[in-house]
């Protein structure tokens, strides 16, 4: 009997933590929903970091943490904002919240990094240079314009979300050039980041900590946003009057495709528009301000954008661009946008229905009065 009780109780109990409710966006109506109390400004740090408005308005992007169903917003840079803290729009919280997941470093900055141990990247314009690497649960960061000088960097960092820890990488001599306007995506099938500088297309492997040149095609251009089509394994770059695509599957020859699209001038001609891929509708879905989003079927022969308009949207996009602050949540089956630190976030439902639920968190416990002797 004692052995049986011991065997029974030694197992790990898997129980929901605090009784997580169903994702509130799963049952939201089609169109726009303003997410109350999700402004960044109220959770900005107090200190000599400047105006945290620069977190969004100063050429800064985001990544989508699919493991926790949250949009991670990070940026600052140059003379716009000096804090290097990270923000999270938590879509599976009830109610949905905006939180600061770490504090800005107060250590001295030299050469784009802080004097902390371990060092952290100094505040910077992140452009389209950041993505979420799901297989290592980390944010990838390349370069950017640092505070306070604005000098462009070509350093590489990862941020470990489990341990809330920065890691500076040492990828060697072969790497993209330091400049703004890099376009970046992550392919979970190959577990690599793909990034294009002004000369070449590169892949980056976390496991080897090395960049590899894949193609020397002319660059897709600046003021563009990258998006990954997971069905076809396409790396698309959209904005500044262009739509380009690379096959980034494991067997690709990495030849650049130039797509002539129609009906989406508001997106294609925009500066760093918000673009994301929806696997439910199999569409590229894009936003560049206002009440209208545009969809594009990447598998169609005729590349035609279609407008979808609902009232009460987020207003005008920030002039410097939206980048990946417009993102798709598979868990919520919704798009989200963080447009300004002084505005609530918004969700947009293109298709009805729930998303793919996150697995419940686990908790370890030992029953009271357990005796194993």
Please report the domains of the chain, with CATH numbers, ordered by start residue.
Answer: 2-106+113-349 (2.120.10.80)
DSSP H stretches of helix in 176-323: 265-268
Interval 189-230: pLDDT, tens: 999 999 999 899 999 999 999 999 999 987 677 899 999 999
Among all chains, which residue has been given the structure tokens 């105006």?
51
Which residues have C-beta within 8 Å of that of residue 18, sequence separation ≥ 6?
A: none
Interval 303-353: pLDDT, tens: 999 999 999 999 999 999 999 999 999 999 999 999 999 999 999 999 988
> Is it the case that residue 243 has pLDDT exceeding 80?
yes
Q: What are the structure tokens assigned to 166, written together?
A: 């920065």
Task: Name the CA dihedral angle for 325, 69, 355, 314, rounded to a multiple of 10 degrees.
Answer: -30
Residue 210 and residue 171 in contact, taking contact as beta carbons nearer than 8 Å? yes
> What angle (nearest 5°) sits at the alpha carbon of residue 225, between those of residues 222 and 229?
135
* pTM of this structure: 0.90
Interval 18-60: pLDDT, tens: 334 457 898 899 999 999 999 999 999 998 899 999 999 999 9
DSSP state, residue 9? H
Mean pLDDT of the chain: 90
Count H helices and E strands in the chain, helices first.
3, 27
């Amino acid at each position: 009997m004692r052995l049986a009780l011991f065997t029974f109780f030694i197992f790990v109990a898997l129980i929901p933590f605090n009784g997580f409710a169903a994702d509130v966006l799963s049952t939201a109506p089609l169109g726009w929903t303003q997410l109350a109390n999700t402004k960044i400004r109220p959770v900005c740090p107090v200190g000599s970091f400047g105006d945290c408005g620069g977190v969004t308005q100063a050429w800064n992007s985001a990544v989508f943490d699919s493991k926790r169903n949250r949009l991670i917003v990070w940026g600052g840079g140059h003379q716009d904002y000096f804090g290097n803290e990270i923000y999270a729009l938590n879509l599976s919280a009830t109610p949905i919240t905006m939180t600061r997941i770490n504090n800005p470093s107060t250590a001295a900055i030299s050469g784009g990094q802080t004097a902390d141990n371990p060092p952290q990247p100094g505040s910077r314009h992140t452009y389209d240079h950041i993505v979420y690497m799901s297989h290592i649960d980390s944010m990838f960061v390349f370069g950017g314009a640092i505070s306070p000088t604005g000098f462009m960097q070509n350093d590489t960092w990862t941020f470990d979300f489990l341990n809330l820890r920065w890691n500076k990488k040492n990828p060697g001599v072969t790497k993209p050039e330091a400049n703004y306007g890099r376009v970046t995506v992550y392919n979970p099938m190959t577990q690599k980041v793909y990034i294009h500088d002004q000369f070449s297309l590169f892949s980056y492997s976390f496991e080897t900590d090395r960049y590899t040149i894949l193609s020397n095609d002319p660059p897709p251009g600046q003021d563009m946003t990258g998006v990954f089509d997971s069905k076809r394994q396409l790396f698309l770059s959209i904005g500044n009057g262009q739509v380009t695509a690379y096959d980034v599957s494991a067997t690709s020859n990495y030849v650049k495709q130039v797509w002539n699209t129609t009906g989406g001038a508001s997106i294609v001609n925009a500066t760093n528009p918000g673009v994301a891929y929806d696997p439910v509708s199999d569409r590229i879905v894009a936003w560049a301000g206002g009440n209208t989003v545009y969809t594009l079927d990447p598998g169609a022969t005729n590349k035609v954008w279609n407008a979808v308009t609902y009232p009460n949207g987020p207003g005008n996009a920030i002039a410097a661009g939206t980048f990946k602050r417009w993102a798709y949540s598979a868990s919520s089956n919704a798009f989200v946008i963080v447009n300004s630190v002084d505005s609530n976030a918004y969700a947009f439902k293109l298709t009805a229905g729930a998303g793919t639920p996150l697995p419940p968190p686990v908790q370890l416990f030992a029953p009271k009065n357990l005796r194993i002797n």
